[in-house]
């Protein structure tokens, strides 16, 4: 019987190391995300923006704490259920479809990503995730 093709959950498992939450990554937050995070934290959206966001170009990003981690990193993501789309979608991002080499580059700083699978499998998994397919 042919083996089941690898899915997104087979090529990426977050190890919760927090490495991607450190450094200036520019985690963009849109209006809906700001509302959701503020609601989760039970604070006003205005306060969330003033206290926990910074402006990057014309957009808002989550601020960094003094230790260079995202302000919401506390050994784990303190806003996990409502974390921004960028955090939720990692590492299944359009940039990988544009240039498959990006997967290997990203994997250099993310121990949860497998690099021992063929490019075609990676592309297929990324495309499936981006198309909203929930099949793993
Ligand atoms: S760097 Fe990768 S494995 Fe570590 S927390 Fe981020 S997504 Fe998870
Ligand atoms: S919101 Fe959570 S997952 Fe995203 S960078 Fe901050 S701590 Fe990391």
Q: Is the CB of 90 under 6 A from ligand 1?
A: yes
- Position 133 scores a pLDDT of 65
Minimum CA distance residue for ligand 1 atom 1: 110
> pLDDT grade, residue 4 (50/70/90)?
confident
Give the whole-angstrom CA distance, residue 116 versus residue 124.
15
CA dihedral 21, 27, 32, 34 (to 10 degrees): 70
Q: Is the CB of 62 under 6 A from ligand 2?
A: yes
Q: Which range among 20-24, 44-48, 57-61 shows the weakest confidence by mean pLDDT?
A: 20-24
For the chain, give every domain's residue range.
8-130
Minimum CA distance residue for ligand 1 atom 6: 20
Instruction: Tally the residues of the chain.
Output: 136
Structure tokens at 83: 């974390």
Q: Which atom of ligand 1 is closest in space to residue 91's alpha carbon?
A: 7
Give the whole-angstrom CA distance, residue 123 versus residue 54.
33
Q: Is the CB of 15 under 6 A from ligand 1?
A: yes
Give the whole-angstrom CA distance, residue 63 versus residue 116.
34
- Position 117 scores a pLDDT of 95
- Position 46 scores a pLDDT of 97
- Position 136 scores a pLDDT of 52
> pLDDT grade, residue 104 (50/70/90)?
very high
Q: Read off the pLDDT of residues 5-40 as tens digits, 9 standing for 90 and up.
A: 899 999 999 998 999 998 766 799 999 999 999 999
3-state DSSP call for residue 76? coil
Q: What is the pTM of this model?
A: 0.84
Q: Which atom of ligand 1 is closest in space to residue 14's alpha carbon?
A: 8
- Position 3 scores a pLDDT of 73
Give the whole-angstrom CA distance, residue 39 versus residue 80.
13
């Amino acid at each position: 019987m042919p083996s089941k093709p690898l899915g997104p959950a087979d090529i990426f498992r977050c190890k919760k190391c927090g490495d991607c939450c450190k450094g200036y990554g520019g985690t963009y937050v849109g209006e809906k995300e700001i509302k959701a995070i503020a609601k989760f934290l039970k604070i006003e959206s205005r306060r969330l923006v003033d206290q926990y966001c910074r402006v990057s170009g014309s957009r808002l990003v989550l601020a960094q704490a003094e230790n260079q981690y995202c302000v919401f990193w506390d050994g784990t993501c303190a806003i996990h259920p409502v974390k921004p789309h960028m955090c939720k979608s990692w590492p299944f991002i359009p940039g990988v479809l544009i240039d498959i080499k990006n997967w290997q580059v990203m994997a250099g700083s993310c121990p949860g990503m497998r690099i021992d699978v063929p490019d075609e499998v990676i592309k297929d998994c990324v495309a499936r995730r981006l198309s909203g397919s929930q099949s793993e």
